[in-house]
Structure 1
Amino acid sequence: MTEHVARPAADRPRPPSRSGRRSRRTALGAGGTAVLLAALDAYVVVTVLVDIARDVDVPVNHLERATPIITGFLLGYIAAMPLLGGLSDRYGRRPLIHLCLAGFAAGSVVTALAGTVPWLVAGRGLQGVAGGALLPITMAMAGDLWDEHDRPTALGAIGAAQELGSVLGPLYGAALTALVPATLRLGGVQLGGWRSIFWLNLPLIVLAAVAVQRSVPPPARAPGRAARVDLVGGLLLALALGLLVAGLYNPDPSRSVLPAWGPATIAAGVVAALAFLWWERRSPTRLIDMAGVLRGPFFASLGVSFLTGAALLVTLVDVQLSAQTLLGLGTLDGALVLSRFLVALSVAALLGGVMARRYGERAVAVAGLALATVGYARIGQWPLGLAGAGHRMDVDLVVAGLGLGLVIAPVSSAVLRAVPAVQHGVASAAVVVARMMGMLLGVAGLSAWGFHRFQALTADLDTPLPFGVDPAVHARRLAEYGDRVRAALHTEYSEIFLITAALCAVGTVVALLLPRGSRRTDTG
């Protein structure tokens, strides 16, 4: 257990001067910018996944081979949060932020230069490790610079930067890919197309590093007892997630949902997760100190965040794929279809905060998830002839976006009221970690199911060949083949969205465990 000893009055922080307030706002802006940059890259590839797959010779009907490009980043992002965030307590915020920015730059270069899926996964994984640590470090910095009264506002600003990445990331990636021609080269290095996303990271990282150097306070020269880091807990959590994702990844989904090694690997992941829980109950240094925590609301908040994360990333990936494969749209036009959902999500995120203050977290979260359930159920029933569906697609995406958006603020508010003020930074990061875990396991699990269904639905299809066949007959067979492939894709997407509706329905039940009102009941 962590002991909190009241400091003598002489040791308590004095109200900052005007220049001090300006300096800490600058530090918050620099840290928030770094968090936003990492959050953008968490979502940036979902709208350009088809372009990336095409460049590294992954066919559209085997996109399962490209999913580690997404899951690799998320796994690194989650695994790094508790470990590197804790190391910043020992070595200082500024050195760790610089280390993370350097790692993020290195990962961007590897990704931009990659010509195969393994190199892409390596680059994205390095980006994820470096980017994931920026959030808890910046939140801890806010805890250093702001007192208990003003700290929630600073934490809210950092959380807003994280959420903004989910809204802007897909559009940013699609727009940059469309604006910078793929033929742009410098010597033998390709700079354009989707690779421009990662090359542009480099000057942005330099600007962020300069701002951090000038605004974030250096580490104390003579610190007291060094903070301890729960290395074992962090490694067990990373191992559990890695095993679960590896067990869900099936490079050949034509035979079964899971690969041959899947059941055993998933079982090992469950064992690692149980070992993590066992360790956290007995370790003297924990990732989250549960002393004074209202456990019911706390775990309900994490559960809701996990389920909404799964729904969010499935939407970002599959709506874009539906637009490109069923409607035949390009990358940017597909992102514009997705923008209906993203705009509704961001508007509802603001409304959710206002409504939660008036009606309480539970009511708003339950209403949001119920609305999202309806939206995804309707998306799951989209007709095959989607182009002729009129405004139904727009309305359904807006309904789903409004539903998920309403949940963001109540969950963040509920978790902060469920823990003592000294743990607000850790609790805020835990909500993001839970959402990222939902994204990681959700997209891995639903992709495994979806790709298997597609392969099963197209198992009896053979690509028509033009040899020894009249051109008109070949053209007719090719058109029939294309129609059956589109029908299989439509079935796959429909089932995935109906499963997503079920996840939101489960989230509605879990949200009933959130606090009813808007005042925290302290537990001492």
Structure 2
Amino acid sequence: MTHKTSHRGLVVVAIMATMAMIAIEATIVSTAMPQIAAQLGQINLYSWVFSSFLLTQTATTVIFGKLADIYGRKPVLLLGIALFLLASILAGFAWSMPSMIAFRLLQGIGAGALQPVAMTVVADLFPGSQRGKVQGYLASVWALSAVVGPLLGSIIIHNLPWAWIFWINVPVGLLAALCFILFLHEEKRPRVVSIDVLGAAFFAVSISALMIALTEVEAGFSNSTVAAFVIFLFSLVAFIWQERRVDAPMVAPDLWLRRPIAFANLAVFFASMAIMGLTTFLPMYVQTVLNQSPLVAGFALTMLLFGWPCGATIASRQFTRFGLRPIMIVGSLFIPVGTCLLVLLTPSSSPVLAATGSLIMGFGMGLLNISALILTQESVSASDRGSATASNVFSRNLGSTLGAAVLGAVLTYGLSHANNGQAITPEQLRALLNGTGMALGSGEEIRLALQHALHATFIVMMLIAVLIVPACLSVPHLKTSEAEPKNA
């Protein structure tokens, strides 16, 4: 990467716009989806509007990271923006739930190209000692988008056709693409590498099958769940066989198994599982068990989004002084401490305790994620940086998906064995969330049963969070580069 001819400031602005486009998409769609589903019908497919995006994003992240190493960052970024914007335009014209899911699948492919490659560009343009500050800006973009997204979605859905939920991406994406075209300059890449198409196909099939299985298993084992697991296992074996026999594998085992990368990604994987539990179940606990308003529940979760950029900012400013590994270890200690506070919650607890746990977990994530990403990038040469960055993003996405499945299964089990052996029905839970449970006469019993089920979920979250500590302790010490990045 010839950073001397690239306008770094404007490229960073384009990267932040790209990240905001992906980040806001998640929250803005979740806000508007109830109204969209009411118009399109087939409510049974509701969850797949979200799962389909995450499925293709996770399955293609590693593939695009490798392609960025072969063909350069700029072509992959522009391809990702084109796919994302095309899918956004088509989603606005969706005429049914299956068509919406199809366009979300395409949108996820675009996001799979954008997220890891944009982070790789930051590593190309800035030395390790400066990179943390820029990554801190990107973390702030994600946090701000999580707050702005629901508000923006609510404004659009009440004042404009719902199609604008997706079309709002178009001007942002076009502006980012223009900045990349004008201000991001790369050297010509003379590398001639045969692309491992078969390996990429096996990888995409295996990860897609795993994601489908994890999504379906929350509702219990069925024939489709078992079939997805079988396809995952067969395609995974075929993928490993393919990668061992080709000269230029799509996913190089020697890169993924390097000690710094392997343990940094493992730490991020466990952390993402724990955070998924927090974002999914803490608002439910505050609203139902603590009997607080949705506003208070939202505030408790928002503390995560306050702590995260604070931790990221501190990590970005201090890792050159203390080192990446020590900051990762400190971050790994904060996350289980936060989960301990959630385990201590009782029906008589103050929502301040829940908010404090959320704040501490967010702060730990800010310290851990930035340090793990920079350490991963510093562990490889510039020619493998896209693949290494993609492995970090992949670990986050897979951890989030597995966390939702595992913790969702714990909650389902708890609800089915609570209330003196009588399972709590979805209708009873919905009535409690809507505030009508007490009127039905059994609200207090359901609330107590839900407290036991969520308490078990928080205990499992804590056990997962504890695993982050040995993963970080296993990361070797690595000195960050002070010099400007060399041309890739």
Q: TM-score, normalised by structure 2?
A: 0.81
Residues 489 and 174 of structure 1: is their aligned pair in 2 closer, same or farther, counting only changes over 3 Å? farther
Q: Given the alignment, which residue of 115, 140, 153 partners 1:164?
A: 140
Aligned to 2:88: 108
Tell me if structure 2 keeps the 8 A contact 1:39–1:131: no
Shift of 1:90: 6.2
Tell me if structure 1 keeps the 8 A contact 2:272–2:397: yes
Aligned to 2:159: 184
Larger radius of gyration: 1
SS, match of residue 442 in structure 2: helix
Is 1:209–2:184 an aligned residue pair? no
Residues 202 and 384 of structure 1: is their aligned pair in 2 closer, same or farther, counting only changes over 3 Å? farther
* Cα deviation 1:124-177 (Å, max 9, x = unaligned): 32221101201344355567x74xxx4446865664465334422321222213
Shift of 1:304: 0.7
Shift of 1:360: 3.7
Distance (Å, rounded) in 2 between the aligned partners of 1:461 and 1:392? 29
Shift of 1:519: 6.6
Is 1:443–2:411 an aligned residue pair? no
Tell me if structure 2 keeps the 8 A contact 1:359–1:517: no
Residues 124 and 498 of structure 1: is their aligned pair in 2 closer, same or farther, counting only changes over 3 Å? farther
Q: Given the alignment, which residue of 22, 41, 45 partners 1:38?
A: 22
* Cα deviation 1:419-439 (Å, max 9, x = unaligned): 334433332232122111111
Higher mean alpha-carbon deviation, 155-164 vs 349-358, is at 155-164
Q: AA paired with 2:309?
A: S
Shift of 1:243: 1.4
Shift of 1:112: 4.5
Residues 487 and 288 of structure 1: is their aligned pair in 2 closer, same or farther, counting only changes over 3 Å? same
Aligned to 1:8: none
Q: CA RMSD in A?
A: 3.8
Shift of 1:504: 1.0
Equivalent pairs counted in the alignment come to 467
SS, match of residue 173 in structure 2: helix
Q: AA paired with 2:196?
A: D
Distance (Å, rounded) in 2 between the aligned partners of 1:302 and 1:449? 25
Aligned to 1:130: 110
Shift of 1:514: 0.7
Aligned to 2:33: 52
Q: Given the alignment, which residue of 186, 194, 203 partners 1:228?
A: 194
Structure whose residues are more often helix by fraction: 2
Tell me if structure 2 keeps the 8 A contact 1:247–1:258: no
Residues 140 and 342 of structure 1: is their aligned pair in 2 closer, same or farther, counting only changes over 3 Å? closer
Shift of 1:299: 0.6
* Cα deviation 1:295-325 (Å, max 9, x = unaligned): 2222101111111122223322333444555
Residues 91 and 260 of structure 1: is their aligned pair in 2 closer, same or farther, counting only changes over 3 Å? same
Q: AA paired with 1:242?
A: S
SS, match of residue 284 in structure 1: coil
Is 1:304–2:304 an aligned residue pair? no
Q: Given the alignment, which residue of 147, 151, 157 partners 1:175?
A: 151
Unaligned ranges ≥5, structure 1: 1-12, 465-474
Tell me if structure 2 keeps the 8 A contact 1:362–1:513: no
* Cα deviation 1:422-474 (Å, max 9, x = unaligned): 4333322321221111112222332244345435546366979xxxxxxxxxx
SS, match of residue 56 in structure 1: helix
Residues 287 and 448 of structure 1: is their aligned pair in 2 closer, same or farther, counting only changes over 3 Å? same
Q: TM-score, normalised by structure 1?
A: 0.76
Distance (Å, rounded) in 1 between the aligned partners of 2:456 and 2:288? 16
Aligned to 1:512: 473
Distance (Å, rounded) in 1 between the aligned partners of 2:438 and 2:122? 63
Question: What does residue range 396-411 of structure 1 map to in structure 2 within 5 Å?
Answer: 396-411=357-372
Tell me if structure 2 keeps the 8 A contact 1:356–1:410: yes
Shift of 1:179: 3.6
Aligned to 2:484: none
Shift of 1:344: 0.8
Residues 513 and 245 of structure 1: is their aligned pair in 2 closer, same or farther, counting only changes over 3 Å? same
Shift of 1:513: 0.6
Higher relative contact order (CA 8 A, sep 6+): 2
Q: AA paired with 2:205?
A: L
SS, match of residue 249 in structure 1: helix
